[in-house]
Structure 1
Amino acid sequence: MQYYSTNNPSVKSDLKRAVINGLAADKGLFMPELIPVLPDDFWKALPDMSLGEIGFQTLKHFFCPEIPEDEFRQLTTEAFNFPIPLVPVTDRIGSLELFHGPTLAFKDIGARFLARVMARFTKDTGAAVNVLVATSGDTGSAVANGFLGVEGVNVFVLYPKGLVSDVQEKQFTTLGQNITAIEVDGTFDDCQRLVKTAFMDDELKKSMQLTSANSINLARFLPQMVYYFSAYAQALKQGRKEVKLCVPSGNFGNLTAGLIAYKMGLPIKRFVAATNCNDIVPKYLNTGNYQPAPSIATPANAMDVGDPSNFVRIQELFHHKLSDIKAVVEGVKVDNDTIYSTIRSVFKTSGYVLDPHGAIGYHAIKDKLDTNAYGIFLATAHPAKFPETVEEVIQQKVEQPERLKAFLDGQKQVESASADYGDLVKILLGHAGRK
């Protein structure tokens, strides 16, 4: 399959170049030329499939035969090797817990898959590949841990100083080896701007091969469709036939993956795009005016994105027709006070502990739940990653998983930079020869 640029459909690439380069030559995002509709026998077998098999059956259309099918089945088995349970919170709302992977966040799914695909595509190149990623929280830890120790790949994680939780920061600043954490004196938008500038810097690219592990990389966001199929399969097993799904949204790669699953035939009634105060997309859905804005810091920091890169992919899926997007997606903004009150009320009534991002998802699906539908929200991170917020709200300690405790005992190692691009270049070139 070929992949085209969102800036110009005539700019195309094969899979390997699209994954390694991250962005198209004209700086657009890659999209698959074709989104196949899954056959009837897939839907019949779906309720009894393992997560790895769901990954193989859905993703093979995009990654095979470039990766041989027998090898690809092994890849998906290894990448998707932890549970993603659908847990009841009320009689009509379930939590799809995406936080049972190595770093306790949903981005483990995409990052583990991407790391394996990237390692396969770069193992024979001879030159180091440098992964450059901006994070507002969970992306950095998932990518860093996914690529930790991968031969021939260096990872640079840019994050805004003081704007990620202590737990999140520890998960990618304590690793060493081929991981370099860069603490930027600025916002997530500054970090994202620096990454984009680097990708457009032809002089820098003469000195080092750059690629992305953010959701702008198609091998990072496409595997996220797997848990949408899994959610539907689990809902069917629980006797739910009509499903409405809520996606806490920041850079919108997560929702893009869900909508590609929808285009492949996933019978979800509606998607709710839930944001925090950075409500660029809900405003667009209400007014038709898409206006990026500086990001605002919130308790749901992984969603603090004022210019979501992936929304153009959603527009592509629906041929840039607002009415067609609105027929499938509705937007909800959840303010900070509501995040806190939702965590408190859900814990009080059900004993279920939400993190700030899950609280946004729960509130939005509860607000938008139709009479006959079963609501599922994506629980994108373990509440133990946000103890400063969650424990204060519920007035109780959140139990820390053992793998999280191991990160907290590590020693922080960072490079510091201003929001000036020149600082980033110096750091990158200083590590350019590392293999």
Structure 2
Amino acid sequence: MKFYSTNDKKNIVDFETAVMEGLAKDGGLFMPVEIPSLQKEIIDSIENFDFGEIAFRITKNFAGEEIGESDLSDIIREAINFPAPLVNLKDDLMILELFHGPTLAFKDFGARFMAKTMGYFVKKKESTLNILVATSGDTGSAVAYGFYETPGINVYILYPKGKVSLIQEKQLTTLDKNITALEIDGTFDDCQRLVKNAFVDEELNSKLNLTSANSINIARLLPQSFYYFEAYKQIREKSIHSVFSVPSGNLGNLTAGLIAKKMGLPITKFIGAVNSNHVFADFVNSGIFKPHPSVQTLSNAMDVGNPSNLARIRELYGDSLSDIQRDIHSKSYDDAQTRRGIREVYEKYGYIIDPHGAVGYMAVRDYETVSAAAKFNKVILETAHPAKFKDVIEDELGIEVEVPERLAACLNKQKKSVRLSSDYEELKEFLLGAV
């Protein structure tokens, strides 16, 4: 499989290059030249395949012969070693729990797969790989734990000061060795801008071997498609339409779902559920893309005012707004509505949902009122364990949220971070001095 840059379709590379470079040298995102279909007979009998087998078959279509089957099988087995259960709230309303990995967030799927894949490729090289990643919350911790102690790889995590939860900050700032947390005085968009600037800085790249671990990296994006197939496998009534509500920020999770649909997965509609950072909803509903500075919300991993993966979505649909609107519905919800969603899910179904999932719930609930379909499966992606937002949940529900042991363990560790401004030259100076 070959991959091209969204900025130049003539800029074509192989899978290894797309993974190891992360972002194309022209600043574009890598896209597969075609979306390979998963065999119809596999989808029709998907109950007969376990999670790892599905993941292997998908990845093989994209990696081709660049990773041997035995090595690829090992990568999948070591990376995707936790479940993605579908929990029924009622017959046609389900929660896809994506928080059963090491850092209790959906980012574990992509981060662990990418770490194993990069680790495989970096063994063939003599130079050290330096990873830059911007995070609005869960990406940082997932990448930190995924790459921790991986030989030949250093990781620098940029996160916005004061704009991630205490638990999220503890997770991404309490590791050492090859992991460095950079506390940026700014927003997530500032962090993302700094990372993108670094990738197109010729002087910096001539001295450092840089790549990304955000969902702009195709190796982060592809494994997120795995659990859409796993979710569909668990749906009981497959004869009716299925709608997936995806809490959306940088749009990696939504893009992965759209790629799964292009592979043949029968998902009728996606709901791009966004918080007060509504630039994507504005685009879907008007066709006008107007980035704006992100604002802080309870669902902080979605606090993105200039989502990178919109470029990929537009590529998937040939920039046809009508085709995008056919497959995607999008609406935004503020913090008050998010709190209402948390409360309503608990009162109606006895389920504790995190703020991101609550946005997804509100969106699918509202979509149900405007849909012409009499009945359809509604799947909400629950992207993080509610304990990561313990204060918000307890304040809203008046109950104590139990913190899993692996999450509680990091709270007693000492924070280690380097504070930097949002000025690119300061980041560049730091990186050149760190290696």
**Which bracket does the TM-score occupy, shorter chain normalised?**
over 0.9
Alignment of 1:144-155 (within 5 A): 144-155=144-155
Distance 1:44 1:339 in 2: 37
Alignment of 1:370-385 (within 5 A): 370-385=373-388
1:52–1:79 contact (8 Å) kept in structure 2: no
- State the 1:239 CA deviation: 5.8
Q: Does residue 110 in structure 1 map to residue 106 in structure 2?
A: no
Q: Write out the 4+ residue segments of structure 1 that deviate beyond 4 Å after TM superposition.
A: none
Tell me the amino acid that sits aligned with residue 404 of structure 2. Answer: P
User: Residue deviations 1:317-354, cap 9 Å, x none?
Assistant: 00110001111111111111100011112112221001
2:73 aligned residue: 73
2:172 aligned residue: 172
Distance 1:255 1:239 in 2: 21
- What TM-score, normalized by structure 1, do the two folds share? 0.97
2:189–2:294 contact (8 Å) kept in structure 1: yes
Task: Please state whether the residue corresponding to 1:119 is helix, strand or coil.
Answer: helix
2:314 aligned residue: 315
1:174–1:407 contact (8 Å) kept in structure 2: yes
Q: Does residue 255 in structure 1 map to residue 254 in structure 2?
A: yes
Alignment of 1:31-430 (within 5 A): 31-236=31-236, 241-369=240-368, 370-430=373-433
Distance 1:163 1:224 in 2: 25
Distance 1:162 1:224 in 2: 28
Distance 1:41 1:346 in 2: 37
Task: Please state whether the residue corresponding to 2:256 is helix, strand or coil.
Answer: helix
- State the 1:364 CA deviation: 0.7
Give the unaligned 5+ runs of structure 2: none
2:242–2:378 contact (8 Å) kept in structure 1: yes
User: Residue deviations 1:162-214, cap 9 Å, x none?
Assistant: 00000000111001110000001111111111111111111111221100000
- State the 1:69 CA deviation: 1.6
Distance 2:239 2:183 in 1: 45
Task: Please state whether the residue corresponding to 1:26 is helix, strand or coil.
Answer: coil
- State the 1:240 CA deviation: 6.2
Distance 1:40 1:254 in 2: 23
Q: 1:288 to 1:44 in 2, by over 3 A?
A: closer
Distance 1:323 1:44 in 2: 29
Which shifted more, 87-96 or 320-329? 87-96
Tell me the amino acid that sits aligned with residue 171 of structure 1. Answer: Q
- State the 1:411 CA deviation: 1.0
Which shifted more, 100-109 or 388-397? 388-397
Tell me the amino acid that sits aligned with residue 180 of structure 1. Answer: T
Task: Please state whether the residue corresponding to 1:10 is helix, strand or coil.
Answer: strand
- State the 1:119 CA deviation: 0.4
- What TM-score, normalized by structure 2, do the two folds share? 0.97
Distance 2:345 2:210 in 1: 44
1:11 aligned residue: 11
User: Residue deviations 1:340-389, cap 9 Å, x none?
Assistant: 01111211222100100000011111111242101001000000001121
Distance 2:166 2:242 in 1: 36
- State the 1:20 CA deviation: 0.8
Task: Please state whether the residue corresponding to 2:306 is helix, strand or coil.
Answer: coil
Q: RMSD in angstroms over aligned alpha carbons?
A: 1.1
Distance 2:264 2:273 in 1: 23
1:22–1:212 contact (8 Å) kept in structure 2: yes
Aligned length: 431
- State the 1:418 CA deviation: 0.7
Tell me the amino acid that sits aligned with residue 30 of structure 2. Answer: F
- State the 1:123 CA deviation: 1.1
Distance 1:92 1:165 in 2: 32
User: Residue deviations 1:34-84, cap 9 Å, x none?
Assistant: 112222221233113211111001121001210012221221122111011
Distance 2:345 2:99 in 1: 19
Distance 1:243 1:338 in 2: 24
2:240–2:375 contact (8 Å) kept in structure 1: no
